[in-house]
Amino acid sequence: MITKKMEKALNEQINKEFYSAYLYLAMSAYCNKLNMPGAEHWFRMQYDEEVIHMTKMFDYVMQHGGDAHLMQIDEPPREFGSVPSAFEASLAHEQFVTKSINELLDVAVEERDHATQVFLQWFITEQVEEEANVQEIVQRLKLAGDNGGALIMLDDKLAQRLPPAPPVAK
C-alpha cells in the first residue's frame, strides 16, 4: 500500500509522462510539416514509449492501493525552430524527466517504500538510455550542419527506429 505522499508524487509523474507523450506527438507533427519523415517517425515512436511509461506508472498506483488521479495536460509548443532544435528540446526535456524521476525515488526512500524504490529502478535505467539516444542524435545533427545530403541520410536512419517493446503483462 503506497502512502498518500507517494501517491501524489507518482500521480504528478504520470502527468509528466502524459505531457512527454504530447510533446513528442507535437514534434512529430512539426517534422511532418518540414517533410522530414524519418524524424517524424522517430518522434512518433518516442510518443509510443511515453504512453508505455505513463501506463506502467498508472497501473502501479492502482495495483498498490492508490488512486490514479489524471490531471490536466499542458499544451505543448507547435513550433520548434528546426529539426535539430526539436532534438535539442527533446534532450532538455529528458534531462528534466530524469531529475523528476530521481526526486520521485527520493520520496520513496523518505517514505521507506521499498516496493516503489524497486519499481522506479526501471525508470532510472530507462532515462539513462533515453538521454544517451537523444544525445547521439543531437551530436550527429551538429556534425551534419547545413549539409543537405548528410541530413537526408540521418533522416533515413531515424526512419529505421523500431517500435518500443510492449510492457510486460501485469
- Backbone φ/ψ region at 3: left (φ over 0), alpha (ψ -120 to 50), beta: beta
For residue 32, the minimal CB distance to ligand FEO (Å) is: 20
Write the CB contacts of 15 (distance below 8 Å, at least 6 apart in sequence).
Answer: 70, 71, 73
- Rank residues 40 and 130 by Cβ distance to ligand FEO and give the closer one: 130
Distance of CA 155 to the CA centre of its chain: 20
- Rank residues 137 and 151 by Cβ distance to ligand FEO and give the closer one: 137
Alpha-carbon distance values, 35 to 8, 31, 40, 110 (Å) = 41, 6, 8, 48
Write the binding mask 99 to 138 for ligand FEO: x where contact by CB under 6 A, - elsewhere: -------------------------------x--------
Question: What is the grid cell recorded at 43?
Answer: 518522434
Q: Is 17 in the site for ligand FEO (CB under 6 A)?
A: yes
Q: Is 88 in the site for ligand FEO (CB under 6 A)?
A: no
> Which of 9, 31, 39, 97 lies at the binding interface for ligand FEO (CB under 6 A)?
97
Write the binding mask 32 to 61 for ligand FEO: x where contact by CB under 6 A, - elsewhere: ------------------x--x--------
The CB-nearest residue to ligand FEO is 53
Taking the CB of residue 18, how many other CB atoms lie within 10 A of it?
Answer: 20
Write the CB contacts of 64 (distance below 8 Å, at least 6 apart in sequence).
Answer: 1, 2, 115, 116
CA distance 78 to 87: 14
Distance of CA 112 to the CA centre of its chain: 27
- Rank residues 107 and 151 by Cβ distance to ligand FEO and give the closer one: 107
For residue 44, the minimal CB distance to ligand FEO (Å) is: 14
Where on the chain is the footprint of ligand FEO (CB under 6 A)? Answer: 17, 20, 50, 53, 94, 97, 130
